[in-house]
Amino acid sequence: MSSITARPLHPPSRAARRLAAASLVLAITVRLAAQSPSSEPPVRLEPVRIEAAREDGYHASRARLATKTDTPLIDTPQSITVLTKELLADTAVTSIGDATRYIPGVGTAQGEGNRDTVVLRGNTSTGDYFVDGLRDDVQYYRDFYNIERLEALKGPGGMIFGRGGPGGVLNRVTKQALIGGPSFQEITALAGSWDQYRGTFDFNQSLAPAASLRLTGLYEDSNSFRDGVYLQRQGVNPTLGVALSKQTILRAGFEYFDDERVADRGVPSLKGRPLKTAETTFFGDPTRSPTETTVYAFNASLDHTFANGATLRNATRYATYEKFYQNVFPGTVNPAGTLVAISAYNQANDRENLFNQTDYVFDFSTGPVAHTMLLGLELGRQETDNLRLTGYSTATGTTSLGNVSTTHPRYSGPLFFRPNATDADNDSTAKSAAIYLQDQIQLLPKLQLIAGLRLDRFEVDFLNHRTGQNLDTSDDLISPRVGLVYKPIETLALYASHTLAYVPRAGEQLSSLSATNASLAPESFENLEIGVKWDPAPRLSLTAAAYRLDRSNQAITDPTAGTPGGPPPGTLILVDGQRVEGIELGASGKITDLWTVTAAYAYQDGETQSANGAIPAGTRIQQLPRNTFSLWNRYDFNSAWGAGLGAIYRDELFAAADNAVTLPGYVRFDAAVFYRFNEHLHAQLNIENLFDCAYYATAHNNNNITPGSPLAIRLGLTARF
C-alpha cells in the first residue's frame, strides 16, 4: 500500500449539500408518484426464495451469529440480543451508539468523537464489528440505512470469529435483494431538531423469476445541539441476488459510504465531576477538528445445497477504508476552574481488508445421537498505514497550545502539525488462516451439546518508519467453545457454556506492536456463563444470564524494572488483568397483538486483578456502570394510530482507570407517535429525552466527556409502493 499523509479537510458548502439532498428526495418522490399503485403482480419463485428468519415486531427467533448455522436462539448456549428492523425503525435508530442502549451488557464510550466505541462486558472495543458475519474492524461511525437487523453476541466468541471479541461482537445484517420476492420502492424523509435533515431509500426490483436487484441509499446533512458541530454522510449499497439453480444462490453487493463530521471531544472535568458549563459549549476549535471516513466495500457469497441436505457456503469481503481526523480538544482544568489546557493532533489511517470464509454444514447420526457438523476455513489479509502528527503553536520547537478560559474555551491561536518522538508512522501487514470444527449434538431428547474448536495462525509484519525498526510476530491461537442446553419443555432452555478468545499484541487495530511487547503471549479472555431462555408465547422471549469474564496476560511494566538487581527499565510482565461478573435480563416480543415491548437490564461488577502502576488491584473498571436498564413499548390503538414510550437508566461510572472522575447516573425518557395514512404512506414523530434531562452520555477519559442531548424532536415520513 502507498504511504499516507495527513491532510486538511474543507467541508463543502452546506447549501450545496442540502440542495443535493432535496433534489434526491424530490426525484425519488416524483418516481414513486408516477407509478400506479396497482403495479403488476410480483414474480415469485418459491423453490429458491430466500428470506431472513421470521421476525414478529421486536421478536427474533433464530440467528446464525453464534454457530454459523441457522439455529433457534433458544438452542444457543450463549447470550444473544437481536434488534429487529421494526425496533430500529420505531426508535429511529441510525447508529451503533443509539442501538446499544437496548442491549443488556453493552454500552458505549466517546471514541474521541471520530469512531464507534462499544463496551462489551467491561471491555472497550473499536474493532469488534462484523457485516454479514465478515470482519469490519476499522475505526469509523457506521450507519443503519442498509441494515436489516443488529445482532449482539455477548462473551468471547473466538471459536466463531477468531482473534478479538474479548467481550463479544456486534454483527450488522444487511438488506439483500429478495429473490422471487415483490418489487417495491420505499423512501423516508426525516427532519429534526438543530437542522437535522436525512433521506433514505430502499428499492427492490425483480429482474426475472430467479434474479432481483436491491438498492439502498442515504443522504444526511445535520447540525447538533453542540456549537459548531455538524454531520454530513452519504451512502449507496446495491445488491444482486441470482438463483443459479434450485440448489445454488449467488449474492453480490457493493457499498460506498462517506461520513464527515466534527470530532467533538466534549467537556473537561473539575474536582471529580464534569465541568459545569452550558451543554452547547465546545472546548477547542470545531473548525479545525474535522473527521472523514470513506469506505468502499465489495461482498459476495455463494450458497449451495446438496441432494443430501448438506450446505456449502463461500463468502468474501474486500474493503478499503480511508480515514483522516484532526481534533483541537480540552485537557486538564486548573484548580481554580478558570483555565483549561488545549491540545491537538491529527491522524490518517488507511486500511485494506480481504477475508474469505468457507463453511460446510452436514447432518448425520451415530446410533440414536443426531449431529449437525460445521467444517470451516477462513483466510484473511489486512494492510494498514498510520500517520499521526501533534499540534504546536509555533512553526518550530515544541511549544504547546497553552490554555484558554473556561468561560470562553474556543482556541483561535496558531496551529502547526508535525511529528513528535512517539507519534505513529507505521505500516503493517496482518495475515490470518484458520480452520474450525463444530458439532451440535442432540445427546438426548431434552439435552443438546455444542462443542467446537478453532485453530488460528496470525502473523503481523510491522514497520516503524520513525525508527526504521521492523517487527515480525506470529501467534497460534487455539479457541475452544463448549455449551450444554437442557430443555425440560420445548419452550424453556437452561444452558451453561465456556468460551475463550485472544487479542494478539498487535491489538485490535494492528498498530500496537513494539520491541518490548512483540514477544509476549496474546491476552486471553475466558467466559463462564449460565442462563435461561424461555418463550412463554410464540411471539415473546425472556432471557437471563449470569457470567464471569476473566482477562489474563495483561502486560504491565515490571515494578522492579530499573531497580538494583532488577530487570532493565521498561521491562513488561504478564499479570491477571481484570474480572467482570454480571447478570443480564432481556425481554422482547408481543405482550398482546397490540402491545410490543423490548426491555434490558444488566448488573455488572468489574475490578482489576493486579496492580498496574498507580492503579491498585481491586479498582473498579472504567466505563462500566453497575446497573443499566432500558425499556421501549409500542402500543397500536388501531390500524392507523400507535404510540411508543421508553426509558433509559444508567448508573454512575468512572471516566478513566484511575477512578478520579465520575459521570453521574441518569434516567431519560423517550416517546413516539405513529400514524398510517394508508398502505403506501405513514409518518412517525420521535421525541428523545422527553423531559429534557441534563446528563452526560459518554466519556473517553477524565477530560473528554460528552453531554447528552437535550429534548430533540424528529419527524419522519415514509412512502412505499
Averages of pLDDT over each 10 residues, the chain, 721 residues: 41 44 40 38 38 65 95 97 97 95 96 97 96 97 97 96 96 96 96 98 96 98 98 98 97 98 98 97 98 98 97 98 98 98 98 98 96 98 97 94 97 96 95 98 97 98 95 96 98 98 94 91 97 96 98 88 82 91 98 97 96 92 97 97 98 97 98 97 98 97 98 98 94
Q: Please tell me the distance from the alpha carbon of residue 379 to that of residue 719, in angstroms, as a whole number.
A: 42
Is 485 within a domain? yes
- What is the residue type of 669? F
The H or E element containing residue 339 is strand 339-366
Q: Please tell me the distance from the alpha carbon of residue 187 to that of residue 142, in angstroms, as a whole number.
A: 20
The three grid cell numbers given for residue 17, joined into one nine-digit string? 449539500
Half-sphere exposure of 523 (CA within 13 A, CB side): 24
Tens digits of residue pLDDT in 364-422: 999 999 999 999 999 999 999 999 999 999 999 899 999 999 999 999 999 999 999 89
Is 1 within a domain? no
Strand order in the sheet with 118-120: 106-108, 118-120, 123-125
Q: Please tell me the distance from the alpha carbon of residue 359 to that of residue 238, in angstroms, as a whole number.
A: 25
Q: Please tell me the distance from the alpha carbon of residue 487 to that of residue 448, in angstroms, as a whole number.
A: 8
- What is the residue type of 363? D
Place of cell 502473523: 459
| Span between the terminal Cα atoms of the chain, in Å | 45
Is 661 within a domain? yes
- What is the residue type of 69? T
Contact 578, 607 (CB under 8 A): yes
Contact 382, 351 (CB under 8 A): yes
State the CB neighbour count (10 A cutoff) for residue 382.
Answer: 21
Q: How many structural domains are present in the chain?
A: 1
**Residue partners of 502: CB distance under 8 A and separation at least 6:** 158, 163, 475, 477, 479, 522, 523, 524, 525
Residue 585: C-alpha distances to residues 51, 104, 535, 648 (Å): 29, 7, 14, 15
- List the one residue out of 382, 657, 619, 655 whose CA is nearest residue 507: 382
Burial label, 403 (beta-carbon count in 10 A; 0-12, 13-18, 19+): middle
Q: Please tell me the distance from the alpha carbon of residue 438 to that of residue 320, in angstroms, as a whole number.
A: 31
- What is the residue type of 312? L
Contact 598, 87 (CB under 8 A): yes
Q: Please tell me the distance from the alpha carbon of residue 170 to that of residue 121, in angstroms, as a whole number.
A: 13
Burial label, 266 (beta-carbon count in 10 A; 0-12, 13-18, 19+): buried
Burial label, 291 (beta-carbon count in 10 A; 0-12, 13-18, 19+): buried
Is 5 within a domain? no
Collapsing DSSP states into helix, strand and coil, what is residue 444? strand
**Residue partners of 286: CB distance under 8 A and separation at least 6:** 227, 228, 229, 262, 264
Is 556 within a domain? yes
Q: Please tell me the distance from the alpha carbon of residue 253 to that of residue 274, in angstroms, as a whole number.
A: 45
Backbone φ and ψ for 158, nearest 5 degrees, come out as -60, -35
Handedness of CA 412, 413, 414, 417 (dihedral sign): negative
State the CB neighbour count (10 A cutoff) for residue 540.
Answer: 20
Look at the chain and count its residues. Answer: 721
**Residue partners of 62: CB distance under 8 A and separation at least 6:** 53, 70, 71, 72, 73
574-596 b/e (C-beta count within 10 Å ≥ 16 → b): ebebbbbbbbbbbbbbbeeeeeb
Is 3 within a domain? no
- What is the residue type of 581? E
The three grid cell numbers given for residue 434, joined into one nine-digit string? 484458520
Cα 105 to chain center, whole Å?
A: 14
- List the one residue out of 449, 636, 9 whose CA is nearest residue 260: 9
Is 8 within a domain? no
Is 2 within a domain? no
Contact 452, 374 (CB under 8 A): yes
133-170 b/e (C-beta count within 10 Å ≥ 16 → b): bbbbbbbbbbbbbbbbbbbbbbbbbbbbbbbbbbbbbb
The three grid cell numbers given for residue 539, joined into one nine-digit string? 411471539
Amino acid 571: pLDDT: 83
Q: Which domain holds residue 71?
A: 14-720
- CATH value at residue 140: 2.40.170.20
Amino acid 288: pLDDT: 98
Contact 532, 494 (CB under 8 A): yes
Place of cell 459521570: 663
∠ CA 409-415-417, nearest 5°, is 130
- What is the residue type of 365? S
Task: Quickly list DSSP for 231-261.
Answer: EEEEEEEEEEEEESSSSEEEEEEEEEEEEEE
Q: Please tell me the distance from the alpha carbon of residue 82 to that of residue 149, in angstroms, as a whole number.
A: 7
